Structure 1
Amino acid sequence: MKLTYLHTIATFLLSFSALGQMQSFSLQEVKVTGGAFKNAQDVDLRYILSLNPDKLLAPYLIDAGLPLKADRYGNWESSGLDGHIGGHYLSALAMMYASTGNAELKKRLDYMVDQLAQCQAKNGNGYVGGIPQGKVFWERIHKGDIDGSSFGLNNTWVPLYNIHKLFAGLRDAYEYAGDQQAKHVLIGLGDWFVELIRPLSDDQIQQILRTEHGGMNEAFADLYILTKDKKYLETAQRISHRAILNPLLQKQDKLTGLHANTQIPKVIGFEKISMLTGNADWSEAARYFWQNVSQTRSVAFGGNSVREHFNPTNDFSTLLKSNQGPETCNSFNMLRLSKALFLDKNDPSYLDFYERTLYNHILSSQHPQKGGFVYFTPIRPNHYRVYSQPETSMWCCVGSGLENHTKYGELIYSHTANDLFVNLFIPSALNWKDKNIQLIQTTEFPYKNQSELVLKLAKSQAFTLNIRYPKWADNVEVLVNGKPHPTNTHPSNYISIQQKWKTGDKLSVRFTTSTHLEYLPDQSNWAAFVHGPIVLAAKTSTADLTGLFADDSRMGHETKGKLYPIDKAYALIGNADSYLSKLTSVGNLTFRLDSLTLQPFYEVHDARYQMYFQTFTQAGFDAQKATQRQQETEALALEARTVDKVNCGEQQPEVDHLYKGEKSDAGYDDDGRFWRNTRSYISYQLQNKDLIGKSLEIHFSGNLKTEDVGLFINERAAEISAMKDKAIVLKVDDNEVISLKIVSENGRPTPRFYQIRLVK
């Protein structure tokens, strides 16, 4: 089945692009046939089918006032982000159906869309959503009553981010599965939103956009592609966040300290809008952002961020120490941006990052046997990851995780009007319907450095077949029907073979690869072993994997096992020439490193691991280890006496501790600390497990006068037991939940609060 929406996009782009514009194939035209990616697709399919559509639909039915068919899921789906997984689920069903043809997926997709259409009809104004008290919330916005921060808009958890998932899911249901009812619901939802924001000024719109809102600008660009109605393109431009766009237009790096995944979808929207308007500046802003994040803020496996925020480009130390490493949602969206820029620029260098991230982050983010998706991937030595479970885990990275493994066929191949491009070396079958060209790729890459491609044609025809010469390849050799073909190109480019092809023609591609050390972008002495495009890591222990498969707690996506001292981690001691010489290959991408065994990181599961190693001369090792040992002892001692903590101003820690507030600001200081203050109030809830927490330490900056700031614990005035070193110490009651409220007593900004710790 041809997908009219996808072809509409292609036709529109060709109207203003030069002949030879790169285009992707539909998922129906590319089938993944074997290897790790096919296994990941199959495992994801089982996870998708294990979810209950009626439970995912429950938030929408509640909002519309329709009878429930099942209770909603718990976890994030019933604690403020109700309905967001339902939108992701539409996308996953549509793309997995396109990739596999599984009839049950289409049945579920049609059912989900029909139920959403009934909710929309009951609401009567085009709106459909699962946001708690949605009608009341949106009416406040329509009237211009706006109080927003990074994740809370009128004390509602990222409502535009939430509804963006539905916009995207309905779009995907139509684009990938041809669901006409989804198109109708999507247009109705878009019209409702246009009317919602019509009375708002541009300043009010920008105030709303301070709160995470996903790719809402992209959603309206897609509506314009779908309908050619200019009001949607105008809306897409109007809801583009200028505080992020303007520095990018000036090529200014203002990203440090920002919540990473809040920004990436906005930039995907900038790129799409630029293609529709011909505004090259917006596309250049997107390219600058991509270059900044992929080259100066990403680690070896392609991920970025620490505790969900962009760390300084010259200091990755917090990333090395944290159990909250790069977030999978970030890489999900960086791949979408990489794909968009590759198709726009016809530049295969974007594929080097795409491929690295696909193999090493996305593939590793799903358990290959049991299923389950990873939120954080720490690079802290000797730490581990947590996997979701279908009945307990409803995090954002579950939503994007459902989608990640449905669409592996999206960029294995691409094409221009007449020519074919082989981009990735993954076992697969291509059926280019418009040209009656079929191509079968057989490969065991990356375990064997070769790939065989066989053509099947309705009739002989002339075209250029282009084979990607990857950046990681030391050398590439291509044989056409057994005869060598000249390379005549360089890495991050294509080897072009132009001739008249016939059925049975065979191309053999051979690579030479090697292992190298890749240092962190901050030029510190931490490095990872990378073989070709594959990041290697070592299993170090299976001890204390607490919470390996997540429970339904608010913070179930975080590891609960202890942090092992970094100064006890394995290190490379010698000189630069000797580090690699310690490796001994034992075959199948496995290497011995003294007592360790290195293997592809995507194979490492159910264990603690080490991916990054410090490199030292012998003299440097002795000196730095002594300093590091002291720092680690102090840091781990503090963690040992901590029962719970909130990093103020950081999105997920505040969400996990049920932040509420009014007239509050948050930011990031030059010293690398996040903060929050208020002219009204802020509040958090901390968990006092086993009642072992005895006091709260509230760390702040500036001058704090107790008569200007009210402090309340469980709604009673708190007793201050000490003030020292820019910290207030409060006594706590023997309660399992400690509710802290901080109030400005004079309506002026309080000092900046950095961290709140409940300690033993």
Structure 2
Amino acid sequence: MIIFFNKSKILYSLLGFFTAFLAVAQMQSFDLKEVRLNDGPFKNAQDVDLKYILELNPDRLLAPYLIASGIPVKAERYGNWESIGLDGHIAGHYLSALSMMYASTGNTELKNRLEYMISELAICQEKNGNGYVGGIPQGKVFWDRIHNGDIDGSNFGLNNTWVPIYNIHKLFAGLYDAYHYTGNKKAKDILIKLGDWFIELIRPLSDEQIQNILKTEHGGINESFADLYILTKDKKYLETAEKISHLAILNPLIKKEDKLTGLHANTQIPKVIGFEKIAMFSGNKKWSDAVQFFWKNVTQKRSVAFGGNSFAEHFNPVEDFSGMVKSNQGPETCNSYNMERLGKALFLDKSDVSYLDFYERTLYNHILSSQHPEKGGFVYFTPIRPNHYRVYSQPETSMWCCVGSGLENHSKYGELIYSHTAKDVFVNLFISSKLNWKEKDIYLEQSTKFPFENNTDLVLKLKKSKTFSVNIRYPKWAENFEIFVNGKIQKTEIKPSSYVILKRKWKSGDQITVKFKTSTHLESLPDGSNWSAFVNGPIVLAAKTSDKNLDGLFADDSRMGHVAAGKYYPLDQAYALIGEKEDYVAKLKELDKLHFRLDSLELEPFFEIHDSRYQMYFQNYTKEQYQEKHALLKQQEIEAMALESKTIDKINCGEQQSEVDHRYKGEKSESGYEDTKAWRSTRSYISYQLVNKKKSGKLLEISTIDNFKIDTITILINEKPANIVSLENKVMSLNVDNIEEINIKITAKTTRNSPKFYQLRILKN
């Protein structure tokens, strides 16, 4: 008997004689310890990640926690982000990575490290005496101010402290994962005490004050309290989760309003994961619908071919992806890390296979590609700018957020290869692996070389014959989808993005073979512009273009070390498609498995491209368009390159990482997005630090969105009044000749908002 499954209904068919509809049982994931990877690109990525994990020193990661607790350190803390305000955040990710990698591999060194770190954190918590444990610099003073209602929040600075709740959320998540994946009871104890401390911290605060705190990036702290509810079933944690959910993001989603443009992307996605988990336990349909609206908006309108979204960390306008095409700061890996977590949660909650289409696309093309497959190291930004490249972290120098999430990404590939209901198995991804469902005495091994070969074999090993369903995902990209059981083809009448369900009495040794075809097509950017990527099945193809000028390929510990800051190659010199798109697909000549010749280029899976500049997106012109539009692009590139060539340093005001990297401080400051630009204003002061390398810059340009009224502000450079050279067209020029380190402070003279500043730029002339 063959059964067909599609989304929330199951269609039973017995040789065509009868049909009936039944509700789908709740989908569940397997524990990571029940799935093991076989040889292939994912197993390799897991092994490389394991090596990176073991190269990190737990005592150095723990140092911020000991410092904050007044305990002598055992090793010097790491530098980079771990020493400039985000002290301790990697340790939380590290707990998660240790826990998941141990569950995925059984490596005992990982468990030993985990238990050691948990024990050290317990000592810190006991020393603090109030349930708190964290690495936030000057944490006692900071948290006392919050408890007393002294709150000044902006998008990433809370009382001039860099995303402190985001920071501590990583510890919440790491402690939860330590218990969830390894059963570490001490981690659970620390987590509950930490949660109770946080509840007491915010107890005196009004709802308005709490929402003010939530203006600052805070990770998925609401999800952490939903997790505490899972652990304890104590409703106070679920109530707290609801209380600390950011209404400025939630309410527009409930109304089906898209207010995301200009927002820091990865600030929002974890909040939505929290909304989803809270909705699942509270039964709040409005919240659940809001989450699905967000999912559809981001995956359909804001994501590029490889699954990533945003540039320079912010959501760009849905109708204009030109900023992303031009930028060396393309989609951030953390965004995809969190979109994968959201996709998994929705798939399990809704039992809807369609969520796996995006999950799979992002897994192969962004997550898998974001780690160097030989030398190790994690990618922060993946530019889609033609002929640019990516930078890889190093264990001793790089402590970025995408290192933390990167440690986790490659430790949990087994999480959704399979799933199950009460008694049935679902095969979701074609990845070579073994499933050992001890509870049901079902062992399944999947052998495949996908995506390089379009088939997979599944062999069952059972202690005794038994009746259950094996459900095979029919992906939306698959063509000529066929399933064989013990060599006999099975009749199917279903559509892509659904399951073929094979229900029978299985015996040990039974074999299921899945065969399909894939084809290549050109996929346009969501804004409908003339940029397209080649995609074969779920695999994005790209071309290596050059191995020159790969400045900072393996990152140092500089503040901008995560950005591929090497030479821009002009966009007008990139390969373009002239004529009909279909003609270029037809012109592809297959060289090898998933390798194609396109005139002088060789297209290959993007996840295989490393140590090279590349082109993923191609402009497409008709013959009539080419001369005019290409000439315009060339002129734009000449102007852009000329400006960049004389720029020494610049700050994009209101953009989180740009401001952090330039030591932003401020009070009574607001930021926003207007006229395609992020901005910042103040009713008190804002300050930044710029570097005029070799004193080669002569002018500091300050640009605003609104009118520049000099009589409303004062500007100091290195504590002295600025020397104003000119003021016109909303641009002020200051003399910075012969000044190498520039500390600029802008103060509002009245309680009114200052102008909206959007950029500061040091120029050679």
Per the TM superposition, whether the score is higher than 0.5 is yes
Which blocks of at least 5 consecutive residues in structure 2 are unaligned?
A: 1-21
Identify which of 697, 705, 712 aligns with 1:708.
712
Distance 2:47 2:486 in 1: 34
Shift of 1:278: 1.0
Runs of 4+ in 1 over 2 A off after TM superposition: 701-707, 733-736
Residues 87-139 of structure 1: per-residue CA shift (max 9 Å, x gap): 00000000000000000000000000000000000000000000000010000
Residue 33 (str. 1) matches residue 43 (str. 2): no
Q: Say which of 212, 233, 239 aligns to 1:234.
A: 239
Aligned equivalent of 1:691: 695
1:346 to 344, 351, 354: 351
Check whether the contact 1:419–1:464 (CA below 8 A) recurs between aligned residues: yes
2:759 is the counterpart of 1:758: no
Could you tell me whether the CA contact under 8 Å between 1:468 and 1:492 is conserved in 2?
Answer: yes
Q: Aligned letter for 2:107?
A: N
Question: 2:227 corresponds to which letter in structure 1?
Answer: D
- Residue equivalent to 1:466: 471
**SS of equivalent residue, structure 2 residue 711:** coil
- Cα distance in 2 for partners of 1:295, 1:545 equals 32
Which of 305, 310, 316 is residue 300 of structure 1 equivalent to?
Answer: 305
The whole-number CA distance in structure 1 between the counterparts of 2:622 and 2:511 is 50
Q: Which residue of 1 aligns with 2:581?
A: 576
Contact 2:523 2:533 in 1 (8 A): yes
Q: 1:281 to 1:18 in 2, by over 3 A?
A: farther
For 1:678, the aligned partner's letter is: T
**Match 1:358 to one of 354, 358, 363:** 363
User: Match of 2:76, SS?
Assistant: coil
Contact 1:305-1:325 within 8 A present in 2 as well: yes
- Structure 2: distance between partners of 1:520 and 1:704: 36
Deviations 1:269-316 (A, max 9, x none): 001001111112211111110110011100000000010000011110
1:160 aligns with 165
Pairwise CA RMSD: 0.9
Q: 2:442 aligns with which of 424, 437, 444?
A: 437
Alignment of structure 1 residues 85-234 onto 2, 5 Å: 85-234=90-239
Deviates more, 1:477-486 or 1:727-736: 727-736
Report the equivalent of 1:508.
513
Q: Does 1:595 align with 2:590?
A: no
Distance across 2 between alignment mates of 1:438 and 1:377:
38
Counterpart Cα distance in 1 of 2:132 and 2:688: 32
1:730 corresponds to 2:726: no
CA-CA distance at 1:735 after TM superposition: 3.2
Match of 1:517 in 2: 522
CA–CA distance in structure 1, aligned partners of residues 345 and 132 of structure 2 = 29
Question: Quick one: which of 364, 385, 388 aligns to 1:383?
Answer: 388
Q: Which residue of 2 aligns with 1:312?
A: 317
Letter in 1 for 2:763: V
Instruction: Specify the alignment match of 1:274 in structure 2.
Output: 279
**Distance apart, 1:576 and its partner CA:** 3.0
TM-superposition CA deviations, 1:207-251 (whole Å, max 9, x none): 000000000000000001100111101100000000111111111
CA shift for structure 1 position 618: 1.2
**Structure 1 Cα separation of the partners of residues 30 and 602 of structure 2:** 39
Q: Does 1:322 align with 2:327?
A: yes
Distance 1:485 1:87 in 2: 48
Amino acid corresponding to residue 655 of structure 1 in structure 2: V
Report deviation, 1:746.
1.9
Give the secondary structure class of the aligned counterpart of 2:710: coil
**Cα distance in 2 between the residues matched to 1:704 and 1:735:** 25
1:256 matched to 2:261? The reply is yes
Deviations 1:311-333 (A, max 9, x none): 01111000000000000000000
Give distance in 1, aligned partners of 2:254 and 2:580.
43
Q: Distance in 2 between matches of 1:49 and 1:606?
A: 24
Note the C-alpha offset of 1:33.
Answer: 1.1
Q: Distance in 1 between matches of 2:282 and 2:705?
A: 46
Which runs of 5 or more residues in structure 1 are unaligned? 1-16
Q: Which amino acid is the alignment partner of residue 305 of structure 1?
A: S
Once residues 80 and 694 of structure 2 are traced to their aligned partners in structure 1, the CA distance between those partners, rounded to angstroms, is 22
On the 8 A contact 2:95/2:175 being kept in 1, the answer is: yes
Alignment partner, residue 6 of structure 1? none
Shift of 1:579: 1.8
The residue that corresponds to 2:9 in the other structure is: none
Secondary structure of 1:666 counterpart: strand
Alignment match, 1:745: 749
Letter in 1 for 2:665: K
For 1:624, give the aligned amino acid: K
Q: Within 2, Cα distance between the matches of 1:702 and 1:444?
A: 57
Residue 608 of structure 1 pairs with residue 630 of structure 2? no
1:511 Cα offset (Å): 1.0
- Displacement of 1:701: 3.1
Shift, 1:543, TM fit: 0.6
1:259–1:651 CA contact under 8 A, matched in 2: yes
Q: Deviation of residue 156 (structure 1)?
A: 0.2
| 1:489 is the counterpart of 2:489 | no
- State, as a whole percentage, how many aligned pairs show the same letter: 70
Evaluate the alpha carbon distance shift between residue 449 and residue 133 of structure 1 in structure 2; reply closer, same or farther with a 3 A threshold.
Answer: same
Match of 2:658 in 1: 653
CA contact (8 A) 1:30 1:409 kept: yes
CA distance in 2, matches of 1:622, 1:584: 28
Cross-structure match for 1:681: 685
State how many pairs are aligned. 743
Kindly indicate whether the alpha-carbon contact (under 8 Å) linking 1:420 and 1:466 is maintained by their aligned counterparts in 2: yes
Q: Deviations over 1:500-542 (max 9, x none)?
A: 0010000000011100000000011100000010000000000
1:454 maps to 459
Residue 705 of structure 1 and its aligned partner are, at CA, apart by 2.9
CA contact (8 A) 1:19 1:417 kept: no
The alpha-carbon deviation at position 680 of structure 1 amounts to: 0.6
The 1-side partners of 2:418 and 2:157 are apart by 41
- Report the secondary structure of 1:344's partner residue: helix
What's the CA shift for 1:733? 4.6
CA distance in 2, matches of 1:506, 1:614: 46
| Separation of aligned partners in 2, 1:631 and 1:149 | 35
Distance 2:570 2:378 in 1: 27
Query: Residue 161 of structure 1 aligns to a residue in which SS?
Result: helix
Code of the residue aligned with 2:334 in structure 1: it is C
In 1, the alpha carbon distance for the partners of 2:533 and 2:458 equals: 32
Quote the Cα distance in structure 1 between the aligned partners of 2:277 and 2:374.
37
For the pair 1:585 / 2:590, whether they are aligned, the reply is yes
